[in-house]
């Protein structure tokens, strides 16, 4: 059974204070690791897909990296508008569905 664990559950940062969110996974043949951002009262918004260890993707202040056991979402010099819940999900080699982690709630104070 695929499993995804995200840590920490919640993270408070000051504006400009860089940090990283962790997504640990066990999956039978990784066929994609996905990062989403979810704002309160809204649906998840797709950010990145990573397929193989060593791969990195960047978008504005966010950079996602992947190893064989975990993924990190690095946030550089965050702003208050980066406050949201960040979700991680994996797709296995059966390809039928995504398994989501519980998310990390990020709060960036001005």
Partner 1 sequence: NAGVTQTPKFQVLKTGQSMTLQCAQDMNHNSMYWYRQDPGMGLRLIYYSASEGTTDKGEVPNGYNVSRLNKREFSLRLESAAPSQTSVYFCASSDQQGYEQYFGPGTRLTVT
Q: List the one residue out of 76, 87, 77, 71 whose CA is nearest residue 39.
A: 87
Q: How far is the CB of 31 from partner 1 (least distance, A)?
A: 7
Question: 42 vs 68, which CB is nearer to partner 1?
Answer: 42
User: Pattern 39-58, binding to partner 1, x per CB under 8 A?
Assistant: --xxxxxx--x---------
Cis status of the peptide bond prior to 35, with omega within 30 of 0: no
Distance separating alpha carbons of residues 38 and 34, to the nearest angstrom: 13
Q: How far is the CB of 14 from partner 1 (least distance, A)?
A: 27
Question: What is the distance of C-alpha 64 from the center of its chain?
Answer: 7
Q: How far is the CB of 46 from partner 1 (least distance, A)?
A: 5
Which residues in the 71-90 window bind partner 1 by CB under 8 A? 87, 89
């Amino acid at each position: 059974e695929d499993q995804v664990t995200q840590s920490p559950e919640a993270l408070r940062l000051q504006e400009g204070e860089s940090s990283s969110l962790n997504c640990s996974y066990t999956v039978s043949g990784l066929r994609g690791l996905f990062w989403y951002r979810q704002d309160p009262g809204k649906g998840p918004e797709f950010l990145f897909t990573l397929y193989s260890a060593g791969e990195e993707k960047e978008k504005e202040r966010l950079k996602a990296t992947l190893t064989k056991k975990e993924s990190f979402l690095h946030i550089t010099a965050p702003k208050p508008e980066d406050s949201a819940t960040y979700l991680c999900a994996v797709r296995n080699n059966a390809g039928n569905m995504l398994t989501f982690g519980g998310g990390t709630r990020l709060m960036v104070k001005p």
